[in-house]
Structure 1
């Protein structure tokens, strides 16, 4: 069977999302892979707004707002006043969110090891370079 680059990328993306989803379900976290990505951004940027996250993912603000609302309801994220803009609020991880983020980081490292098993460093570097170029090609279209 001849699979082109687009199909191979879809297969990889789907496999990662499925694996992550099943792991989250096994841990009874009641969150989806997109929640994980939002938590990661909030953790990395220490404090950001829902608009920042929507821009980062190039997603609709309403979709991100729903995800953030769910994370707040689960006590993983809280809002705090934005000292630079009184009209917006910053999102920060709660202690429970920080603990979850740490456990998700371990999971991400394990997934990274699993997904790259048997792939030498040079091939992996080439893959990353090609994937980044493909992403750039779509972003600039």
Structure 2
């Protein structure tokens, strides 16, 4: 007898299968980046600029780990550090031209993937999915 599916199992399966399906599509872009590097670049892409501390908070990693991750992105010429006009002690992280070109390609791959992923799902159903997933994310962030 099959047990009723749990929320965490559904989320795990969705996350796992999503990673399996999209990873090869992103690998076709000929730049090998770790998922956390992509996430850091996405934050910079969306915000226009970011700081090491902002990215560390988002990824829930210590500053030393994030610094190494960002150093590698700098060496790949995907991001660069510029002086922060609001805080002389920190640097702002921005995408280089290479980084922007790469992320435009990522966006195209993800848009096509999203189209395939949501095929046959009504807008109202997607709106409900986004509402529920936002609540789950918020609850996850507040678990002691």
What TM-score do you get using the length of structure 1 for normalisation? 0.91
Cα distance change, pair 111–63 in 1 and its aligned pair in 2 (3 A)? farther
* Per-residue CA distance 1:69-88 (angstroms, 9 max, x = gap): 11111111011111221111
Q: Is the 8 A contact 1:35 1:71 kept in 2?
A: yes
Q: How many residues align?
A: 141
Identify the residue that residue 75 of structure 1 maps to in structure 2.
77
The 8 Å contact of residues 47 and 92 in structure 1, kept in 2 or not, is answered as yes
- Segments of 4+ in structure 1 off by > 6 A? none
Aligned match for 1:12, one of 4, 8, 14: 14
Using the TM superposition, give the Cα deviation of residue 56 of structure 1 relative to its aligned residue in structure 2, in angstroms: 2.4
Alignment match, 1:89: 91
User: Aligned partners of 1:39, 1:70: CA distance in 2, in Å?
Assistant: 12
**Runs of 5+ consecutive residues of structure 2 not aligned to the other structure:** none
Q: Spell out the pairing of 1:1-141 with structure 2 (5 A cutoff).
A: 1-2=2-3, 3-141=5-143
In structure 1, C-alpha distance between the alignment counterparts of 2:81 and 2:51, rounded to whole Å? 9
Cα distance in 2 between the residues matched to 1:64 and 1:37: 11
Displacement of 1:23: 1.9
Q: TM-score, normalised by structure 2?
A: 0.89
Contact (CA 8 Å) 1:75, 1:96: kept in 2 or not? yes
CA distance in 1, matches of 2:38, 2:9: 25
**Structure 1 spans left out of the alignment, 5+ residues:** none
Tell me the C-alpha RMSD between the 2 structures.
1.5
Tell me, yes or no, if the aligned pair for 2:44 and 2:94 is still in contact at 8 Å: yes
- Kindly indicate whether the alpha-carbon contact (under 8 Å) linking 2:36 and 2:59 is maintained by their aligned counterparts in 1: no
